[in-house]
Amino acid sequence: MSEQTVYLEGAYIPLSEAKIPVMDHGLLYGDGIFEGIRAYGGRVFKLEEHMRRFQTAARAINLTLPLPIGEITEIVLETCRRNTIVDGYIRLVCTRGADGLGLFPKPGAHPPRLFCIAGQVALYSEEAYKRGLKVITSHLRRNKATIVNPQIKSLNYLNNIMANIEAHRYGADEALMLNEDGLVAECTGDNIFIIQDGVISTPPIWVGTLNGITRQAVIEIARSLGYTVQEVPFTHFDVLNADEAFLTGTAAEIIALTELDGQLIDSGVAGKITLELLDAFREYTKQSKNGAKI
């Protein structure tokens, strides 16, 4: 099997040769941005939307991308081609570069450093999609949107990582994160939805949640199937007492949340609407209009 190929600063090179200097600001300070992207059936899912978010995140942190967004889009596609990706996962990253200690990039510092990785991902087994996930509520609160806006997918993911470590320490698959007001925000790597009496609810982005691209797709799909979807704040109480609950994310797609803090959500297995949406989402990813051809 040939070695994975990575794009790094203008070249496509073997993974074993892809090196980042220890003085890079992305490593020293988490100073940079990323996108996690999926490919389905030889197409990169929602690539235009991912590129738009990548561009707006760069602007938000005053990071000048080293190439026009059209060229970066082609880099994503070419990285997939060189790794013969049909169904896979892509990680696109841009760091500040700025080789050297000190928070402020020095004049003449290394320009922003762009790299792209394309490979495979299998976050959960097919059995897990039927069984659902065991989730705990983290004692860590979600970063406030007034500090670092969650729409910026920055390399500083410590808030999420610490909560995820906490989840696994207690034998759970994921951690639910509340904001400073005790409202449900999201999980460490996924958005959350609950279903009550056939109505689907998800937190509005102002509570401190990422407006995930899979989240947006699921809202569109659910409404096309005739479901009412509302973006409203809710609490831990509402999740525990939901008929169904599920998470959405690029890697996870749609997966049921069936146990929270040791208590089963309804019957404790993936619900009918959740599984219907998962099937519909997987069909949605096959539609050519929703992906860029590799």
Q: Report the CATH number that the domain containing residue 257 is assigned in CATH.
A: 3.20.10.10
- Residue 92 predicted with pLDDT over 90: yes
- Do 13 and 140 share a domain, yes or no? no
**Could you give the CA distance from residue 169 to residue 263 in angstroms, rounded to a whole number?**
18
**Could you give the CA distance from residue 247 to residue 124 in angstroms, rounded to a whole number?**
12
- Residue 148 predicted with pLDDT over 70: yes
Check residue 47 and give its pLDDT. Answer: 98
25-29, 62-66, 131-135, 146-150: range with lowest mean pLDDT? 146-150
Check residue 1 and give its pLDDT. Answer: 62
Q: What is the pLDDT of residues 93-103, one digit of tens each?
A: 999 998 888 89
Closest to 25 in 3D by CA, of 157, 91, 113: 113
Check residue 125 and give its pLDDT. Answer: 87
| R_g of the chain, CA atoms, integer Å | 19
How many percent of the chain have pLDDT more than 90?
89
Check residue 8 and give its pLDDT. Answer: 98
Check residue 144 and give its pLDDT. Answer: 84
Paired strand residues for 191: 248
Question: What token pair was written down for 222?
Answer: 């659910």
The answer to whether residue 236 sits within a structural domain is yes
The answer to whether residue 293 sits within a structural domain is no
The length of the chain in residues reads 294
19, 106, 130, 153: the catalytic one is: 153
- Do 90 and 106 share a domain, yes or no? yes
162 vs 98, higher pLDDT: 162
- Do 15 and 62 share a domain, yes or no? yes
- Do 63 and 105 share a domain, yes or no? yes
- Residue 35 predicted with pLDDT over 80: yes
- Residue 218 predicted with pLDDT over 80: yes
**Could you give the CA distance from residue 115 to residue 285 in angstroms, rounded to a whole number?**
25
Q: Residue 105's pLDDT band (boundaries 50, 70, 90)? A: confident
- Do 131 and 95 share a domain, yes or no? no
| Confidence (pTM) | 0.95
Check residue 40 and give its pLDDT. Answer: 96
- Do 51 and 109 share a domain, yes or no? yes
Q: What is the mean pLDDT of residues 123-134?
A: 92
Check residue 108 and give its pLDDT. Answer: 79
Check residue 14 and give its pLDDT. Answer: 97
Active site residue 272: no
- Do 102 and 207 share a domain, yes or no? no
Total tally of structural domains belonging to the chain: 2
Query: Which residues lie below 8 Å from residue 5, measured CB to CB, with a gap of 6+?
Result: 12, 13, 14, 15, 79, 82, 83
Question: Structural domain of residue 175, as residue ranges?
Answer: 126-284
Q: What is the mean pLDDT of residues 207-218?
A: 96
- Do 114 and 131 share a domain, yes or no? no
Q: What is the pLDDT of residues 264-288, one digit of tens each?
A: 999 999 999 999 999 999 999 999 9
Of 97, 119, 141, the domain-final residue: 119
The answer to whether residue 289 sits within a structural domain is no
- Do 225 and 150 share a domain, yes or no? yes
Check residue 100 and give its pLDDT. Answer: 82
Q: What is the mean pLDDT of residues 156-180?
A: 96
3-state SS assignment for residue 205: helix
The answer to whether residue 291 sits within a structural domain is no
Q: What is the mean pLDDT of residues 78-84?
A: 98
Neighbours of 275 (CB within 10 A): 17
- Do 278 and 220 share a domain, yes or no? yes
Angle ∠(258,180,171) on CA atoms, nearest 5:
35
- Do 161 and 188 share a domain, yes or no? yes
Q: Cα dihedral sign for 99, 104, 109, 113?
A: positive
Q: What is the pLDDT of residues 47-74, one digit of tens each?
A: 999 999 999 999 999 999 999 999 999 9
The answer to whether residue 164 sits within a structural domain is yes
Q: Are 39 and 45 in contact (CB under 8 A)?
A: yes
Neighbours of 8 (CB within 10 A): 18
Check residue 98 and give its pLDDT. Answer: 84
What average pLDDT is seen over the chain? 95
3-state SS assignment for residue 36: strand
- Residue 107 predicted with pLDDT over 90: no
**Could you give the CA distance from residue 23 to residue 268 in angstroms, rounded to a whole number?**
48
